[in-house]
């Protein structure tokens, strides 16, 4: 039995069956619809899309609060007083969750909080890899656990195409001229995670199916991704044709297994439906 309990936020988009298998505790982030705030994961992602379509206003996302963390931390410690809590946080550069967790750890020396500098399926890959590591090394020292997490964080690579640029425009992340130009020319901006921040790095042109396959090939070559792990993330509903094309491209590149991750409300609210991304671990 492991000496650790892993905690992460709902924004990691970890599939429920995997969270259950690895006994990962999930703390909800929050979504505000006008004057009403809901916990992430308590409603369908489609509710956020429908709200925007009806009102023209994007729901607002926010991180977990210190109280959210204190409640979960204290309950875990009550149940497992001898175990150390390992919190693998949503990127501190994008939300307040990590800082909230640090506030909650005050006076609780049985907790270690680490900024994964990743979001969504990128964070999920780190969390799940750490769960596998602790399953194989249940008595690992805290120093070894920190070193393993730091190594994963430094090697994670994530890039994705937003599903609907109208969502980025509504959120003030793209101007009107850029939105119109990209729409007319069928341009897909690639968003990558760099040191915890979301950065537009490259532009692809074509249908989402064609650029998805090209992204997989480009990412595999550019970052020399390790072939044992690959995650593909999507927002909204997954088109069967896209899944078939992307899966074939991944297997053609030599990947032995693929984890499909559906983005939750935190990321989907900004991406819109129809987004697609790739997450892997670089060799160096």
Grouping H, G, I as helix, E, B as strand and the rest as coil, residue 265 is helix
Q: Give the pLDDT confidence score for residue 186 in this predicted structure.
A: 66
Q: Give the pLDDT confidence score for residue 171 in this predicted structure.
A: 47
b or e along 52-83 (b: 16 or more beta carbons within 10 Å of the residue's beta carbon)?
Answer: beeeeebbebbbbbbebbbebbeebbeebeee
Grouping H, G, I as helix, E, B as strand and the rest as coil, residue 2 is coil
pLDDT digits (tens, 9 = 90+) for 107-143: 999 999 999 999 999 999 999 999 999 999 999 999 9
Band of residue 209 on the pLDDT scale cut at 50, 70, 90 = confident
pLDDT digits (tens, 9 = 90+) for 53-85: 999 888 999 999 999 999 999 999 999 999 999
Residue 185 clears pLDDT 50, i.e. is over it:
no
Q: Give the pLDDT confidence score for residue 169 in this predicted structure.
A: 55
Least confident of 4-13, 108-117, 147-156, 269-278: 269-278
pLDDT digits (tens, 9 = 90+) for 232-282: 999 999 999 999 999 999 999 999 999 999 999 998 988 889 999 999 999
For the chain, list the domains and their CATH numbers.
4-154 (3.40.50.10170), 156-282 (3.30.1180.10)
Sheet harboring 111-115: ordered strands across? 25-27, 4-9, 84-89, 111-115
Given the structure tokens 């899309």, which residue do they identify? 49
Report the candidate in 222, 212, 217, 220 with the shortest Cα–Cα distance to residue 190: 212
Residue 197 clears pLDDT 90, i.e. is over it:
no
């Amino acid at each position: 039995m492991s000496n650790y309990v892993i905690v992460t936020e709902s924004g990691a988009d970890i599939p429920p069956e995997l969270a259950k298998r690895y006994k990962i505790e999930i703390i909800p982030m929050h979504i505000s619809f006008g004057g009403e705030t809901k916990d992430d994961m308590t409603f369908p992602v489609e509710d956020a899309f429908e709200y925007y379509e009806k009102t023209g206003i994007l729901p607002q996302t926010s991180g977990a609060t210190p109280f959210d963390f204190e409640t979960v931390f204290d309950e875990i410690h009550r149940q497992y007083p001898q175990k150390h809590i390992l919190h693998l946080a949503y990127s501190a550069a994008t939300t307040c969750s990590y800082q909230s967790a640090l506030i909650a750890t005050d006076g609780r020396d049985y907790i270690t909080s680490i900024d994964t500098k990743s979001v969504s399926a990128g964070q999920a890959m780190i969390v799940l890899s750490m769960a596998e590591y602790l399953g194989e090394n249940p008595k690992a020292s805290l120093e070894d656990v920190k070193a393993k997490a730091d190594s994963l964080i430094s090697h994670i690579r994530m890039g994705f195409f937003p599903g609907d640029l109208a969502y980025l425009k509504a959120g003030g992340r793209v101007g009107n001229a850029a939105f119109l130009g990209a729409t007319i020319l069928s341009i897909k901006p690639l968003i990558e995670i760099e040191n915890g921040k979301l950065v537009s790095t490259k532009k692809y042109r074509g249908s989402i199916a064609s650029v998805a396959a090209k992204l997989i090939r480009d990412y595999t070559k550019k970052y020399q991704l390790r072939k044992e792990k690959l995650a593909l993330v999507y927002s909204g509903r997954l088109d069967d044709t896209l899944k078939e094309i992307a899966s074939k491209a991944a297997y053609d590149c030599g990947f032995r297994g693929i984890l499909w991750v559906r983005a939750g409300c935190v990321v989907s609210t900004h991406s819109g439906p129809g987004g697609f991304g790739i997450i892997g671990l670089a060799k160096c």
